[in-house]
Chains A and B, each alone.
Chain A
């Protein structure tokens, strides 16, 4: 049950894009077309899960024993950057179509605060390894969900009669704000779930 609460919290209640405001650049950049949004979402799921798992291991078995926790940021960035490079090479070989579609956004994940943020949050919340991985999967799924929802809305916006000054990124930001408001509706669901399990 705690795992379920963890998943729902990461996926909906504390959605990384809409309620923690991490990773807004790809949120607006890749959400113009559904197919790239799906591709980007999957890439983030892949990278974020892998990154969180590896950074957890680095934290527990290298940084903590050596007592150099202050190097967390540096070490994590190094690991994540290399990982994204690796993913890029892998995708190019294994899935050229996805590689073409994501184009410049793969390197963007390198310095993406969402990926880094989830890795750090997993440590800060003192999850164990399994929890960390589940937390990462749920967070990235939340990322993908928000991105795909946004792409769906923006594809419809293409046909809508948007006032000229608001076209493009402006209406995108307004949409994002409204979506964030909608996601606020999930607040408290975790407490209800907790109450439910206790009773």
Chain B
């Protein structure tokens, strides 16, 4: 017994001594920061960073394979702690949260079968994609709530997930596990400039509205008597509800699902009702505004598009300033639309509301006369958006003046005018004409004859899709030294102060999966076959991205002679180089076409209605926001605007018919003729009528809608 005990003791001791010596002999120095970083990380092992747990992430951070801010669960505080260990600095990232879009629970949505299987969405989705008829509907079995490592999701009474924004850290576990992809990670600034995709639930009216106002949402608020909330819902997507309430052509009402039963809901009169309620309070009800980003932006043009752009820039915290040529803001709204359709006090209240968001305005400032774009960039504005051109104010203000919003960018109209008057075209050394057609060809030849070194015609169309006249010229053109770029879009322009220097091309319709061919060429004059000036966004060109060639000779342009590049140790001053940034321009059914999208090159909007210029204003800001955030400037995947068809219903059932509420026409005053005059305004709905009308809304989803009688659950 004693022997055995002693033996084991001795054996153990020997082994311990050997191991102790070995641990010294074979000691491996391990970076102590790994342990420190590990301690700073939350230890949830959620995998949101893409590494297998916090230990792996810590090693990746210390070895430099991952950023200090990689941890999504810990947020900015963790990133700061990790950065302190690593001795680097991190910028605050905007927090994201999980966001769900389905609004009709399993009990209210149309089913295709009754599911009695395993209580897990992933299992249910294996059977025809879940029990709902709707392909993007929430299955409602709460897999997201079960997998959430932070207990941030619970299932509501109607079996739809409710995300607790306080607890959600955007680790993405629910997004990965949800079989229907209805949960997305989004930040509040993303939501501000959000564009709908076919992967989320939208009502027909909402999809039709160019700006995508959550129409069922604000009508629900009116039904509940919460008018302030209704205004907030509208202002999320449309900063001009008072104006739209009066002059919007209301395409939404043409798509109202209620048409299938009786008459469309009075969507726009309801908007007018709540916006007048806001005006009646004398105050401005404002939606969510992000904290200041410390960036300043300039918006040139104070019309509906410029006001919208400034409003969204203010909401994103980018401190906007509007430069308006006319003495007062409003553009077409003030100077074209008559006061009986749009009373001026309404316009003034609306504009005051936008300025109240934190927008500065400088009026009677004409671009080219009082300020220049490079001057604004010099002044410290980090992005300049041109939202000009509902009407061409430069022609109104200074007839005959040929100021250009952007030096070197000219309208084909002006060149044709010069040609007709037999004046020189002044095409510069390198001329590019975009989508000019036959007239562009004539100009190209004239410019070539005048001595322009290179003349390039750019079109997004393929060579074999051209009018026969142009096709016939193809061989001659090459002989004449005129280059034609087929199937090409313009990705951007670059310049130095008041001069254009380069144009960047990209091949259209590149084979899927292949990098489209790109090239860059010098230019100093760009001609657009558009009736109005282009809507471009211009920002400083980052120093490291600037091409070395070409920049040097151009920076000695006359305007900047004497100013050499900064040679001090301070952060380098702006060297005068700028470039355009892309904005979100998508054609229905078509791809992105660069910054000079056909049919009207350089236009984001067609400005045919105020609601459309609001959309353009927001899209321009979306481009700016993505540029500031360092994200790829791209449209969302599967945008609704590009979708050929969106799932819809072609009949409604169990809906009691009712009449649309109408505002009473003004009573003719006794003694006058039996009609009303133009000075008299058409009144809106009164509160009682508005509340009655709000009851008529079917609160549609993609295919769900509010039924008066619940159908028997269909089983087929």
Contacts and interface: CB of A to CB of B under 8 A. Distances in A.
A86 B8 contact: no
B7 interface: yes
Contact of B19 (A67, A71, A74, A82): A82
Contacts of B16: 82
Nearest to B10: A62
Interface string A69-87: 0010011001100100110
Contacts of B27: 93
Interface in B1-44: 3-4, 7-8, 11-12, 15-16, 18-19, 22-23, 25-28
B3 A68 contact: yes
Nearest to B24: A89
A74 B8 contact: yes
A82 B8 contact: no
A4 B7 CA distance: 37
B26 to A, nearest CB: 4
A167 interface: no
B9 to A, nearest CB: 11
B7 A66 contact: yes
28 contacts: A62-B7, A63-B7, A66-B4, A68-B3, A68-B4, A71-B4, A75-B7, A75-B11, A78-B11, A78-B12, A82-B15, A82-B16, A82-B18, A82-B19, A85-B22, A86-B18, A86-B19, A86-B22, A89-B19, A89-B22, A89-B23, A90-B26, A92-B26, A92-B28, A93-B26, A93-B27, A93-B28, A94-B26
A60 to B, nearest CB: 14
A51 to B, nearest CB: 13
Contact of A90 (B3, B8, B11, B22): B22
Interface in B646-664: none
Nearest to A71: B4
Contact of A75 (B8, B25, B26): B8
A66 B3 contact: yes
A68 B7 contact: yes
Which residue of A58, A63, A82, A96 has the most chain B CB atoms within 10 A of its CB atom?
A82
Contacts of B8: 71, 74-75, 78
Contacts of B26: 89-90, 92-94
B308 to A, nearest CB: 51
Contacts of B19: 82, 85-86, 89
Interface string B252-285: 0000000000000000000000000000000000
B23 A79 contact: no
B415 to A, nearest CB: 61
A85 B16 CA distance: 11
Nearest to A82: B15
Contacts of A89: 19, 22-23, 26
Nearest to B30: A92
A94 B28 CA distance: 10
Contacts of B18: 82, 86
